[in-house]
C-alpha cells in the first residue's frame, strides 16, 4: 500500500497533521489503534486556557481544525483573566467530550485524500542507508510505504496505568499500550525517558450536593475560537467549585505508602504545574485546602470531572478522601482516577520543523515529545504536518518565530531546551506576549495559512474584509476630532457619565482619546456612530475590541517590536548544515558540547540553549559570519 504520508495516531496532534497534508492534496493514511477514539479527550473536558486558548486560535488562523471542533461542541465559554491586561487574557471552553470525539472522527472520515486504518504500528521501514524512513509495519503484519511519516503516539508508547497497587500495560485505562516503536527509536539512537501524567475520578452528577458548592457560570458573550465563525449557539452548563479540607488531607497522609507515586512503582517525571492531590498534600503541608472544579463531561452523560484532585491512589482511598469534600459526601464513583507512565523522546533531537535529526522524513509531534495538553499536541501536529507537506512539495521549511506565535515559543522551547518533565505552555514563557494576543492571531497568521494553501478562497476573502474594515476604523479614528459642538448634539445625552472625561480631550483625534485608560471605544462611538457600521452592516464586537486594544497598547507593542527586530538580526544569521563547532576556537567546552548536541539552525536559537554563554555566542557569530563571507 503506497501513500504520500502516514500519520501514526489519531489524537489531537495526529488529527492536525493528517488534515493538513490531505487538504494539500497528498494521499495520507492515518493508522490508529481504535477508530472510535479519534480526537478523544483523555483527561479534562476543556479546550483553551491561559496561553492555550491563544494557541487554539493560532491553529485556526493557520488553517487547522481544533478551533472549529470546539466551537461546535462547547457547553460553556469563559475568558480567563478578563479583569487583567489583554496579554494574559485567554478563551477557555468546556467541551462535550463525546460530541467533540464524534465530530473529530466525522471530520477526518469525510476529508478528501485522507484514509483511515485501525491497527497498531510496531515498526518503521527504511531505505538501504537505514536513515531515511520509507513506511511502517503494523502489529498484524501489514506494510505501508510513504514518503514521510508523522509519529504522534501520545501516552501509548510503552504505556502503563497505575491505580494503587494495581497496574496494567495501557495508554489509557482499558486501552492497550503500543509496543515496538520504542525499540525502533532507541535503535536509531534517540535519547528516551519516562514521563507520568494522571487524571481524576469521575463521579455521577445525581449523587452530588450542589447546594454546598459555588456555582460558576460561563460568559454570556461567547467569542468563537475559529475566525470562520461569527457566533456560537450552544447549550450552556454550569461548573461548580468546592475545596478539600484537613480531613481530606488526613486520609491521604494515612495512606501515602499505598500511592504508586511514593512507593517507587512510578519512575517517570510528572507535571510540575498539575500535580496529583497526594503530591499537593506532600509538597504543600501548610495548605489547609485545595480548590476543586466540578465540571460536566457532556450534555448526554451523568459523569462529572473532578478537576484538581487527579490521583493514582487505590480505589478505596479515592472514595474515602472524595467523601470528605463538601458536596461530594455521597458521590458515586463511575471511573477511578489513575496515573499513566509512558515513553517519550528528548525533543532536542528534533529540528524546529518537528523533523527528527537522526533520520530523514520522520516527523514527531505531541506528548511523544514530552509536552502535555491537547492544545500543545495540536500545535505541534500542525507544524509537523505542514513541514512534512513542504518536504513532499520540495518547498523550504516553515518555522514560526517566538515573536509570531505561542506555537513558535512551544516548538522552540522543546527543540532548543528539551524537557525532563511534561511541558505546559504559559504566557510567562513568551517574552513578546503583548503581540501574541488571542484576538489578533488572524492578523499575524492568516496570510501565512493562505499562502500555505490551508485556507479556501472564501475564508480568505472574509479575512480580508475584516482586515480592511479594521484599517478603515483606525483611519476614521485618526481623522475624526472631538469638538465642543459634539457636546451640544444628541450624542451628549448618551455619553454614560463620561462627558467630563471626554471634555478634557476637546481638539484631539478620537484615536488619541482612545489611549486614555478611562475611556473605551464604546465611549467615543457616540460622537462617531459610523465606527460601528460599515456598508450598512453592524461591525462585529470582536473586531471593535481588536481595534481598541491595538490603539490602547500601540506604544507598548512598538517597544516590543523594536526588541523583536534586534533579536531578529541574530535569528537571521543561519548556521550552515554540517557546521563544525569543534573547529571554532574560543568556545567553552560546555558550550561546544551543547551546540553539537542541539545543532541549532541559527545564532538566535544557539543563544537560547541552556549552558551556552553570551561570550560563546559572540565567538560563534563571528565564526559563522567569517565562513559566510
> Is the pLDDT assigned to residue 1 strictly greater than 80?
no
Considering only 137-151, 172-186, 216-230, 571-585, which range has the smallest mean pLDDT? 571-585
- How does residue 63 score in pLDDT terms, banded at 50, 70 and 90? very high
Q: What's the DSSP call for residue 509?
A: B
> Is the pLDDT assigned to residue 446 strictly greater than 70?
yes
Q: What is the pLDDT of residue 301?
A: 98
- How does residue 536 score in pLDDT terms, banded at 50, 70 and 90? low
- How does residue 534 score in pLDDT terms, banded at 50, 70 and 90? low
pTM, 2 dp: 0.94
Query: What integer is the mean pLDDT of 55-70?
Result: 98
SS3 of 327-366: the string is CCCCCCEEECCEEEEEEEECHHHECCCCEECCCECEEECH
Q: What is the pLDDT of residue 496?
A: 62
Cell of 426: 504559559
SS3 of 542-583: the string is HHHHHHHHHHHCHHHHHHHHHHHHHHHHHHCCECCCCCCHHH
- How does residue 229 score in pLDDT terms, banded at 50, 70 and 90? very high
Please state which CATH class domain 572-628 belongs to: mainly alpha
DSSP 35-88: GGGTT---S-SEEE-TTHHHHHHHHHHHT-SHHHHHHHHEEEEEEETTTS-GGG
More reliable by pLDDT, 575 or 315:
315
> Is the pLDDT assigned to residue 492 strictly greater than 90?
no
> Is the pLDDT assigned to residue 564 strictly greater than 90?
no
Query: What integer is the mean pLDDT of 173-191?
Result: 95
- How does residue 440 score in pLDDT terms, banded at 50, 70 and 90? very high
Q: What is the pLDDT of residue 482?
A: 85
Fold exhibited by the domain 457-557: Arc Repressor Mutant, subunit A (1.10.10)
Give phi and psi for 148, each to the nearest 5: -140, 150
**Domains of the chain by residue range:** 202-340, 457-557, 572-628
More reliable by pLDDT, 623 or 324:
324
Q: What is the pLDDT of residue 298?
A: 98
Q: What is the pLDDT of residue 20?
A: 98
Given the DSSP bridges, would you call strands 333-335 and 202-204 parallel, antiparallel or unpaired? Answer: antiparallel
- How does residue 561 score in pLDDT terms, banded at 50, 70 and 90? confident
More reliable by pLDDT, 64 or 82:
64
CA 395 to chain centroid, in Å, comes to 26
- Between the two ends of the chain, the Cα-to-Cα distance in Å is 48
DSSP 190-236: --EEEEEEEE--EEEGGG--GGGSEEE---SSPPPSSTT-S------
Please state which CATH class domain 202-340 belongs to: mainly beta
- How does residue 495 score in pLDDT terms, banded at 50, 70 and 90? low
Chain mean pLDDT for the chain:
93
Q: What is the pLDDT of residue 239?
A: 98
Burial label, 128 (beta-carbon count in 10 A; 0-12, 13-18, 19+): exposed
Considering only 105-109, 332-336, 503-507, 590-594, which range has the smallest mean pLDDT? 503-507
Q: What is the pLDDT of residue 493?
A: 61
Amino acid at each position: 500500500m503506497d501513500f504520500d504520508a502516514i500519520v501514526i495516531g489519531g489524537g489531537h496532534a495526529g488529527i492536525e497533521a493528517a488534515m493538513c497534508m490531505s487538504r494539500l492534496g497528498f494521499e495520507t493514511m492515518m493508522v490508529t489503534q481504535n477508530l472510535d477514539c479519534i480526537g478523544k479527550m483523555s483527561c479534562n473536558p476543556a479546550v483553551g486556557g491561559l496561553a492555550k486558548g491563544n494557541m487554539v486560535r493560532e491553529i485556526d488562523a493557520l488553517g487547522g481544525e481544533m478551533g472549529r471542533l470546539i466551537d461546535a461542541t462547547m457547553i460553556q465559554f469563559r475568558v480567563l483573566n478578563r479583569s487583567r491586561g489583554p496579554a494574559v487574557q485567554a478563551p477557555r471552553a468546556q467541551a462535550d467530550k463525546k460530541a467533540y470525539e464524534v465530530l473529530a472522527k466525522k471530520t477526518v472520515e469525510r476529508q478528501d485524500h485522507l484514509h483511515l486504518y485501525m491497527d497498531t504500528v510496531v515498526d518503521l521501514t527504511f531505505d538501504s542507508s537505514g536513515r531515511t524512513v520509507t513506511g511502517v509495519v503494523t502489529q498484524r503484519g501489514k506494510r505501508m510505504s510513504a514518503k514521510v511519516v508523522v509519529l504522534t503516539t501520545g501516552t501509548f508508547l510503552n504505556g502503563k496505568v497505575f491505580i494503587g497497587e494495581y497496574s496494567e500495560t495501557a495508554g489509557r485505562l482499558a486501552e492497550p499500550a503500543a509496543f515496538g516503536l520504542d525499540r525502533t527509536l532507541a535503535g536509531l539512537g534517540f535519547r528516551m525517558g519516562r514521563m507520568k501524567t494522571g487524571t481524576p475520578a469521575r463521579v455521577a452528577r445525581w449523587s452530588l450536593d450542589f447546594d454546598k458548592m459555588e456555582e460558576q457560570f460561563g460568559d454570556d458573550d461567547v467569542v468563537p475560537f475559529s475566525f470562520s465563525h461569527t457566533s456560537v449557539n450552544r447549550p450552556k452548563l454550569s461548573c461548580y467549585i468546592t475545596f478539600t479540607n484537613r480531613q481530606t488531607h488526613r486520609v491521604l497522609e494515612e495512606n501515602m505508602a499505598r500511592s504508586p507515586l511514593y512507593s517507587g512503582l512510578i519512575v517517570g517525571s510528572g507535571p510540575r504545574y498539575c500535580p496529583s492531590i497526594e503530591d499537593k498534600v506532600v509538597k504543600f503541608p501548610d495548605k489547609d485546602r485545595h480548590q476543586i472544579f466540578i465540571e460536566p463531561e457532556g450534555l448526554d452523560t451523568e459523569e462529572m470531572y473532578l478537576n484538581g484532585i487527579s490521583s493514582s491512589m487505590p480505589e478505596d482511598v479515592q472514595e474515602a478522601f472524595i467523601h470528605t469534600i463538601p458536596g461530594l459526601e455521597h458521590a458515586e464513583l463511575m471511573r477511578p482516577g489513575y496515573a499513566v507512565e509512558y515513553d517519550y523522546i528528548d525533543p532536542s533531537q528534533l529540528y524546529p520543523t518537528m523533523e527528527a535529526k537522526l533520520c530523514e522524513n520522520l516527523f514527531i509531534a505531541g506528548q511523544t515529545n514530552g509536552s502535555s495538553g491537547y492544545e500543545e499536541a495540536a500545535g505541534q501536529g500542525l507544524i509537523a504536518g505542514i513541514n512534512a507537506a513542504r518536504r513532499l512539495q520540495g518547498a523550504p521549511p516553515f518555522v514560526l518565530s517566538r515573536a509570531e506565535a505561542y506555537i513558535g515559543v512551544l516548538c522552540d522551547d522543546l527543540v532548543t531546551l528539551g524537557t525532563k518533565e511534561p511541558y505546559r505552555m504559559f504566557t510567562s514563557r513568551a517574552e513578546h506576549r503583548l503581540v501574541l494576543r488571542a484576538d489578533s492571531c488572524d492578523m499575524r497568521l492568516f496570510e501565512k495559512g493562505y499562502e500555505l494553501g490551508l485556507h479556501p478562497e472564501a475564508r480568505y476573502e472574509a479575512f480580508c474584509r475584516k482586515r480592511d474594515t479594521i484599517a478603515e476604523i483606525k483611519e476614521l479614528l485618526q481623522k475624526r476630532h472631538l469638538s465642543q459642538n459634539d457636546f451640544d448634539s444628541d450624542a451628549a445625552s448618551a455619553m454614560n457619565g463620561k462627558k467630563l472625561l471626554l471634555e478634557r480631550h476637546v481638539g484631539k483625534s478620537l484615536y488619541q482619546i482612545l489611549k486614555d485608560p478611562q475611556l473605551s471605544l464604546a465611549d467615543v462611538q457616540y460622537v462617531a456612530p459610523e465606527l460601528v457600521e460599515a456598508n450598512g452592516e453592524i461591525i462585529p464586537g470582536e473586531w471593535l475590541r481588536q481595534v481598541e486594544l491595538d490603539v490602547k497598547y500601540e506604544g507598548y507593542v512598538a517597544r516590543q517590536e523594536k526588541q523583536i527586530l534586534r533579536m531578529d538580526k541574530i535569528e537571521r544569521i543561519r548556521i550552515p548544515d554540517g557546521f563544525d563547532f569543534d573547529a571554532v576556537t574560543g568556545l567553552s567546552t560546555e558550550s561546544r558540547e551543547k551546540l553539537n548536541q542541539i545543532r541549532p539552525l541559527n545564532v538566535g536559537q544557539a543563544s537560547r540553549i541552556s549552558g551556552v554563554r553570551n561570550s560563546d555566542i559572540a565567538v560563534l557569530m563571528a565564526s559563522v559570519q567569517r565562513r559566510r563571507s
